[in-house]
Chain A
């Protein structure tokens, strides 16, 4: 395949993407779920209310909390792993 053929193929792929998007058409009616916050108090009730009131805020909350917790747990387990005495800075094996 020549360079021009590659460029042409890529251009077709890019041009084709909106057609694929349009092919999807309108979205189907989604089922709305509601969390029952009446049984709970404190943080659980707050959590459920956040979910019930705005899925957007809940989504933002999720994408902030997950990496933060991941980072904290990662650092904690990193610290624990370092206690074992294993070299955690380099890998000797280097091959394909």
Chain B
């Protein structure tokens, strides 16, 4: 069974390549659907396949750049990417990311980095989960009230409407983002991306997990446009991260390229699946992913607090993450198959009706 293993030229050990393709496929699927890089899923996966942590992060970021590019191109054709918004946000993201990285170095010097990063991550994920589910509950309440009052349900209404207040800030220049359907001060996306970039830099993640909800709740993007625009951001920041980690000599490029083979198929399916799922459907499952991620961090924190149970708790965190990735992948695949079948059946029906006429 030697053919199932490929030598990693830089890291210098053999890796089970079908594992890399399956991992790439799963992350491509989830990333294309939710609009995130998926570093929180890939790093433990690569670790299980035998990658040392330093190589796992660099390899993950490198493959993320290619995968997000594929998803962005596909989302772009659906009209889900606001390139102008994405480009403006790049400035804030890069500035924030660098400031965050410097903050981490300062925390390292005072010896508090692990404590602040882990707890900060947890608080942030709890806040995002609260935001997502509060939004869903409020939206449902609005819909119920509309039905009870005999009004038509507004498909464009949202539960949390913080963006409406933020749009009232009229600090010039005022910019119109056509694809997102927003008109606001350019400082709003710059400020928001600076903060999300700062948090991503401190937490050592790509930022999709934070930026996707920020695009929805603070900037006011429709869910599909938030997914596409965030992927555009991830592609750019991923490329920056790929260059940075490669320069530090911590990227196993061959592994990233093998992962890209699986990710390219997964990203296409994940992106096309968004055609068949309503915005709030995506938000619900995004919330579930955030909760899963938070629970896995709780396990890690407990592992630090109770060293005797460390191996069990670490294993539980990994099983949870991989279980979550498998469940979400299955959900997206099923929605894709159902939606595609329905669309093709309708297409055939209309073609045969046309032929009869």
Task: List residues of A whose CB falls within 8 A of some B CB.
Answer: 3, 6-7, 10, 13, 17, 20-21, 23-25, 27, 30, 32-33, 35-37, 40, 44, 47-48, 51, 55-56, 58-63, 65-67, 69-71, 73-74, 76-78, 80-81, 84-96
Contact = CB atoms under 8 A, between A and B. Distances in A.
Nearest to A48: B9
A78 B169 CA distance: 41
Contact of B222 (A32, A51, A56, A95): A95
A37 to B, nearest CB: 8
B73 A74 contact: yes
Given A59-B246, A70-B67, A96-B158, A17 B95 contact: yes
A66 B252 CA distance: 12
Given A17-B99, A88-B77, A95-B222, A74 B264 contact: yes
Contacts of A93: 224, 275-279
Contacts of B340: 84, 86
B239 interface: yes
Contact of B102 (A3, A24, A59): A24
B38 to A, nearest CB: 15
Contacts of B73: 71, 74, 78
B79 interface: yes
Contacts, number: 186
A20 to B, nearest CB: 5
Interface string B192-230: 001000000000000000000000000000111000000
Interface in B234-287: 239, 242-244, 246-251, 253-254, 256-257, 260-261, 264-265, 267-268, 272, 274-280
A70 B66 contact: yes
Contacts of A63: 65, 239, 242-243, 246
B275 A92 contact: yes
A67 B65 contact: yes
B357 interface: no
Interface of B: 7, 9-10, 12, 62-63, 65-67, 69-70, 73-74, 77-80, 95, 98-99, 101-103, 105-106, 109, 155-158, 169-171, 187, 191, 194, 222-224, 239, 242-244, 246-251, 253-254, 256-257, 260-261, 264-265, 267-268, 272, 274-280, 340, 343-344, 347
Nearest to A1: B169
8 contacts: A6-B171, A6-B187, A7-B171, A55-B247, A60-B243, A74-B70, A86-B340, A94-B222
Contact of A91 (B69, B78, B242, B249): B78
B230 to A, nearest CB: 16
